[in-house]
Amino acid sequence: MKFLFKSIVLLLPLAFIAMFYILLTDEDAYPGTDYKTFDIPKFQLENLENTKLIDNDEIKGSFILNVWASWCITCRVEHPFLMNLKNQGIKIIGLNYKDERSDAIEWLDKYGNPYEITVHDLKGSLALDLGVTGAPETFLVSNGKVVAHYQGEVNDAIWSNVFLPIIKEKGMF
């Protein structure tokens, strides 16, 4: 009895701590995060603003690739945060996804343009190659290689927990 009591007193709280440890380090802590590394697939698409053709050579170095569309509600929620990033001097390239050119340009005029270049992917071909399932999605690209992929709205918490650690580790920007 005494032994039983003692072991319960010690083991119960520890089991509890262990349980929270498992919950906290659960990989799904940020569902929608993927750290697979791969090269940006070959593509040739129009620039949203001036219809010039863009291919892999035009988007080099390290940047954030943000998939968005004017019909996407969450993109508008995400938008101020991207403007914020741009103001911090972070290079963002937009991938306008399955969107009418006029709608997209109007959207950017209305809310502001956080993107250095916006690639117009009307059919969603590059998006398909990248593994995009919807909008918004965001990729972290380091020297032409995708190093992180997040499905959903990027905000402060996602930025500092999903992207910033990699950015710091790789010394990007």
Partner 1 sequence: MHPHRRKRLFNIILVLLFSTSGIGLILYSLNTNLDYFFTPTELKNINIQEDKRIKIGGMVLENSVVREQSKVIFTVTDYKNYIEVVYEGIVPDLFKEGSGVVALGFMQNETFYAQEVLAKHDENYMPPNLNINNDN
Partner 2 sequence: MIIEISHFLSILATGLFLLVGLISFITTDTKYTANLISRTFSHGFLLLLVSFIIYIWLAITDNFSVQYIANHSNTELPVFYKISSIWSAHEGSMFLWIIFIALWGFIFNINIKNDEVLKPKSIGVISLILVGFLLFLLLTSNPFEIILPIAPLNGADINPVLQDPALAIHPPTLYLGYVGFVIPFACAISFLINGNPDVRWEKLVQKWSVLAWVFLTIGITLGSWWAYYELGWGGYWFWDPVENVALMPWLAATAFLHSLSVSIKSYHLRVWTILLSISVFSLSLFGAFIVRSGIIDSVHSFANDPDRGLYLLMFIGIILIISLSLFILRFSMIRPIGNIKRFSKESFISINNIFFGSLIFSVMLGVTYPLVYEYLFDQKISVGAPFYNAIFIPIVLIASLFLFLSVDSKWSRNLNFNFFRSPMIVSIILSIASVIVLIYFFQTNNLTFLISVYVGLLIIFRYCIEIFNSFYFKKFINPFSAIAHLALGLLLLSISFNSLLSTERALSIRLDSIEEYKDLKIYFKDIKVVKNSNHDSIKALFFIENSRGNIVELSPEKRRYRTRGQITTETAIHISPLRDIYITIGDQLDNGNWVVNVQLNYFIRWIWFSGCLMAMAGIVLIFSKRKV
The answer to whether residues 53 and 45 touch, using CB atoms and an 8 Å cutoff, is: yes
Answer yes or no whether residue 24 interacts with partner 2 by CB under 8 A. Answer: yes
Q: How far is the CB of 135 from partner 1 (least distance, A)?
A: 7
27 DSSP 8-state letter: G
Question: Which of partner 1, partner 2, none has residue 135 at its interface (CB below 5 to 8 Å by kind)?
Answer: partner 1
Helices in the chain by DSSP H: which ranges? 2-24, 73-87, 101-111, 125-130, 156-158, 164-170
Please identify, among the stretches 13-21, 34-42, 64-72, 133-141, the one whose residues bind partner 2 according to the rule CB under 8 A: 13-21
Answer yes or no whether residue 151 interacts with partner 1 by CB under 8 A. Answer: yes
Q: How far is the CB of 7 from partner 2 (least distance, A)?
A: 9
What sign does the CA torsion over 56, 62, 68, 70 have? negative
Tokens for 12, please give them: 């119960």
Q: How far is the CB of 6 from partner 2 (least distance, A)?
A: 5
The answer to whether residues 83 and 60 touch, using CB atoms and an 8 Å cutoff, is: no
Question: Which of partner 2, partner 1, none has residue 22 at its interface (CB below 5 to 8 Å by kind)?
Answer: partner 2
Please identify, among the stretches 15-23, 47-55, 65-73, 135-143, the one whose residues bind partner 2 according to the rule CB under 8 A: 15-23
Answer yes or no whether residue 98 interacts with partner 1 by CB under 8 A. Answer: yes
The answer to whether residues 135 and 144 touch, using CB atoms and an 8 Å cutoff, is: no
**Helix, strand or coil for residue 30?**
coil
Give residues in contact with partner 2 (CB under 8 A). Answer: 2, 6, 9-10, 13-14, 17, 19-26, 29, 156-157, 160-161
